[in-house]
């Protein structure tokens, strides 16, 4: 006759095969036959649920075993906490940690690291740091993985000073500072706008012989982009090539965006050309940044060429892409082309926002098309697109240029009435 051990072996096989539903069915058979469920039964089933991302089911089983008086061990707790980590359920993970401590179950490095991981996923960096301090207070050794999780939790929130302190702490404890550590610290600098510190860390990696990978470089390039340091961004892409570090779409997009911000449309196009030569996929963000770079320097024809090229390649154009192309036409006084692009957006079901409408209205204003400007405002109202100060000011200017002073005054009244 099959006993608890036999059924546990079946549930364990389900766990290894990631079949959580079958594991639950076997548990139900055990209940129906009056066969006792023990710690191993529940732990295996909870682990099966955790592996399949079923954290809520895992938690339900955990609560059930406690109600049934079945003892939960370190393996049980680790599995439930791991499920909570994957789902970013940091508060539940902390509660489980409290249960472990209250019940005298040994809380080891792995458990703490998993709870820290849950806090990281939920961007609870302060709680992650506190858990590290709790480990130190309870004499639980922290590994490089533990520190990297805490540093990463701080990094996603841009807390760069804390990440630097933690990295120094790792060094002082003789824990190996790795590429992943530097990548996280550089990420924190990028999010905090500390581009110079990010570059210093790259230099430090090179000096100390720590390998720099695609993520490290891409993050540093993104830091340069945010700070408007396009020359540094392009230089870093060159450094990657010289060192044989592969660049990906994210790397190039960050560099092209840096060129866009620095009004360097030719450099942006060169980077796009490099991507194509290396077989690196171009996406909507790539084209959006390049078109925007052209827009900033009135290269409307090139902007339209890029838009046509992305459509030919089947790369989807969104509101941002079209708005940049429309703005390029507006800056060059190409009101008819701006109107055509707006019509193309409507045909493709791409929604025009306030920025898009403002650019087309401005193009009409420059082209002396006051009637079209007013019609566009009417369209905005009909589609529920909010008109802002720029919308009204441009339309008023269009009416002024067309000698339509009464319409201009009416727009001024409407503007004041709507609190714009």
- pLDDT, tens digit (0-9, with 9 covering 90-100), for 28-76: 999 999 999 999 999 999 999 999 999 999 999 999 999 999 999 999 9
**Mean pLDDT across 143-158:** 95
Residue 88 has pLDDT above 90, yes or no: no
pLDDT digits (tens, 9 = 90+) for 319-336: 999 999 999 999 888 999
Reduce the DSSP state of residue 158 to 3 states and report it: coil
pLDDT band, residue 419 (cuts 50/70/90): confident
Residue 1, pLDDT above cutoff 80 = no
Number of H helices, E strands in the chain: 24, 0
CB 224 within 8 A of CB 233: yes
For 245-299, write each residue's pLDDT tens digit.
999 999 999 999 999 999 999 999 999 999 999 999 999 999 999 999 999 998 9
Please give the Cα distance from 232 to 252 (Å, whole number). Answer: 13
Mention every residue, 6+ apart, whose C-beta is less than 8 A from residue 99: 72, 77, 105
pLDDT tens-place string over residues 229-244 = 999 999 999 999 999 9
pLDDT in tens, 184-227: 999 999 999 999 999 999 999 999 999 999 999 999 999 999 99
Q: What is the pLDDT of residue 333?
A: 87
pLDDT for res 418: 85
Enter the tokens of residue 31: 């209940």
Residue 303, CA distances (Å) to 12, 299, 323 in order? 60, 6, 11
**What's the pLDDT at 61?**
95
Report which of 62, 39, 48 is spatially closest to residue 13, judged by C-alpha positions: 48
- Is the separation of the CB atoms in 411 and 380 below 8 Å? no
Res. 182: pLDDT tops 70: yes
Q: To the nearest 10°, report the CA torsion of 357, 359, 364, 365.
A: 110
Q: How confident is the model at residue 416 (pLDDT cuts 50, 70, 90)?
A: confident
- Quote the percentage of the chain above a pLDDT of 70: 100
Residue 71: count other Cβ atoms within 10 Å of its Cβ.
Answer: 12
């Amino acid at each position: 006759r099959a006993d608890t051990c036999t059924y546990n072996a079946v549930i364990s096989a389900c766990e290894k095969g990631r079949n959580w539903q079958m594991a639950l069915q076997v548990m139900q058979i055990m209940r129906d036959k009056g066969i006792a469920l023990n710690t191993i039964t529940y732990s295996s089933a909870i682990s099966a649920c955790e592996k399949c991302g079923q954290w809520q089911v895992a938690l339900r089983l955990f609560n059930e075993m406690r109600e049934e008086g079945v003892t939960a061990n370190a393996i049980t707790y680790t599995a439930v906490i791991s499920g909570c980590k994957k789902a970013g359920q940091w508060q539940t993970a902390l509660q489980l940690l409290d249960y472990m401590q209250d019940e005298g179950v040994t809380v080891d490095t792995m458990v703490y690291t998993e709870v820290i991981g849950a806090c990281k996923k939920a961007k609870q960096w302060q709680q992650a740091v506190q858990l590290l301090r709790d480990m130190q207070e309870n004499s639980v050794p922290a590994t490089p993985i533990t520190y990297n999780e805490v540093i990463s939790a701080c990094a996603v929130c841009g807390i760069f000073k804390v990440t630097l302190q933690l990295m120094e702490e790792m060094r002082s404890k003789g824990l190996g500072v790795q590429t992943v550590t530097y990548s996280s610290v550089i990420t924190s600098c990028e999010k905090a706008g500390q581009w110079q510190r990010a570059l210093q860390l790259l230099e430090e990696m090179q000096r100390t012989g720590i390998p720099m990978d695609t993520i490290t470089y891409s993050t540093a390039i993104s830091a340069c982009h945010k700070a408007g340091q396009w020359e540094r961004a392009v230089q870093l892409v060159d450094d990657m090539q010289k060192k044989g570090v592969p660049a990906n779409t994210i790397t190039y997009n960050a560099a092209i965006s840096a060129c866009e911000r620095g009004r360097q449309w030719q450099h942006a196009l060169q980077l796009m050309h490099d991507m194509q030569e290396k077989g690196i996929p171009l996406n909507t963000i790539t084209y959006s940044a390049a078109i925007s770079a052209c827009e900033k320097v009135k290269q409307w024809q090139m902007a339209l060429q890029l838009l046509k090229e992305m459509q030919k390649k089947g790369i989807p154009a969104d509101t941002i892409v079209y708005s940049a192309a429309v703005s390029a036409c507006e800056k060059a006084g190409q009101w008819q082309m701006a109107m055509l692009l707006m019509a193309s957006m409507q045909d493709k079901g791409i929604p025009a926002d306030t920025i898009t409408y403002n650019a087309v209205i401005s193009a009409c204003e420059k082209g002396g098309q006051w009637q079209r400007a007013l019609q566009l405002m009417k369209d905005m109202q009909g589609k529920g697109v909010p008109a802002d100060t720029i919308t009204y000011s441009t339309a008023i200017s269009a009416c002024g240029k067309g000698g339509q002073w009464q319409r201009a005054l009416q727009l001024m009244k409407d503007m004041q009435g709507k609190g714009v």
